Structure 1
Amino acid sequence: MYTYAYSPDEASLCAMELRCLFGQEIPEGIFMSGVQVDVSRSPFMKERIDVLYEGDSLEDIYRQTEQVEVEGQTFKVIYVKINDLAPEHKIEYDERRAIEREIGMRIEGEADVNRPERVYGIVTLGGRWYFGTYHKNQATWFRQMKKPRSYSIALSTRVARAAVNMAAPRTRGIKMIDPCCGIGTVMVEALSMGIDIVGRDINPQIAAGARTNIAHFGFKSEVTLGDIADITEHYDAAVVDMPYNLYSRITPEEQYAILVNTRRIADRVVIVAIEAMDEMIGAAGFTIIDRCVAKKGTFSRHLMLCE
């Protein structure tokens, strides 16, 4: 059981990230899935409950939680506020605390609301109640928002993290590349998830900035200097933040060359651009299998997942 939230500007970005992670269109706010994902990977997911018990009523849950064994560890119960209850059926603060206490009283062990060794969650969805092990998004990526080296047109940490999740929904055994890595925002996010990623940039000063940022957060990865055309290795996935005519001296021919070479070196690619590039992407040999628009005020970025 997962919960998530987003700002209006991030609706499209969030929906695509979740589609890539879970392989389906996701209902609003809360959903169930047989796919287990670390909630801390996403800038949008809030909580995950690994369901142990379910029932048609709270009384069903109360009876079942008497079976919980905490094995000498302290515990805490959390009522998950994101649910599909209609506004007139919303459960207010005092009742939520009462539900937590009732379950806590039925679990044999020592409750600790401050530093519990185990955390359980209770939530309702679709007229049924669910109880299980609770996992909260630790939002470790917040620390990566403040980098020693930055520039104004770099991807935001949230967009970069979502793009990595789109390119590599499963991280184990994946080899990834960011061939136009800039200051390394995508690389830092991928490395923080344990993904094997390397970077490359044609600008020596910017490549040096990427190395500085990666080292600043305690990560290690290779950032090489040079043109994407010189890459000979092959990768499972790539994220390409396309250089933009608006901000850099790059011709359409050079943009096309980046796409052609990305098609050559990677199987699954997320292309980020300030405009849709369908014709050029198709000419490079890609098929766009999903897309979204990430907005920030009046500025938009298109993210296109290609294979």
Structure 2
Amino acid sequence: MDKVMSNKRIIALYVLPSIILIMAIIYIPIVLTGYYGLMRWNGIGSMEFIGFDNYSALLKDDKFWDSVMHSLVFALLSTVTLALYLIVALVLTGNIKGANLFRKIYLLPMLLSSVAIAQLWLKVYHPTTGILNTLLVSLGFSDPPAWLSDPKYVLGALFVPILWQYAGFYILIYYAALKNIPNTLVEAALIDGATPRQIAIRIKLPLIMEVIKVTIVLAVVGSLKYFDLIFVMTGGGPNGHSEVMASYMYRQAFKAFDFGYGSAIGFFLLIICLVATWVIRKLTETKDPIQYS
């Protein structure tokens, strides 16, 4: 076996299928997206090379930059709510009553598709028959907001189901990381007189910092390319006030049949995600990661 595995040709033969698959589903589509962004194309007829006209038009498109700002708002909110998920995970790792039941409940949204969640929250936010406005009316609010039709509330209203949908995912990651911390460290801190708050801040959080960095990247990049739930619930409305980069790309490519411009948006979205990932990694970079095993 050692002789076979030391043969570079055999190793290349084993690796080749994976390389072909990765090229086919990741790198080739990226290159083609950038290439189509150089074209004027309606998706059916012949393509006309126009150079960087689509990209220069993109930089002057106010609606596109509005969608970028909306995506950044979702990214910021998603990053802030990671603290809430972390607190819940910290509580669940303690010996509290009902923790086992709650660990089953918070995973339920992960079992639903984004479309199903969108339909559920459309019913919640319905201006006349929705449970939210019905509750507000019963509490004395005579004119409750139209949550998905009012520009002042639409982004916040959309973020609530996003927070609910991904709560189980991030709590599960933090819970697994926290349970992986040796009990001996916590017991030693308790013997030294540390409080639960001090243990959480000074011991547990530093030990799972690498996991926290990964979740920040996942939250930011996932928010920048978020599409399905927003598209089903508002379609980017009202009047573009909930338009995000992915929905604007879809609108240009499949509604306006400008696949060249839509591809330019998609390629620009990729660049923004890569830059965001690089910035986060640089900001959270540590020279000496903490080891506990």
TM-score category of the 2 structures, normalised to the smaller one? under 0.3
Task: Give the structure, 1 or 2, with the largest relative contact order (CA under 8 Å, sep 6 or more).
Answer: 2
Larger radius of gyration: 2
TM-score by length of structure 1 reads 0.18
More helix per residue: 1 or 2? 2
Higher strand share: 1
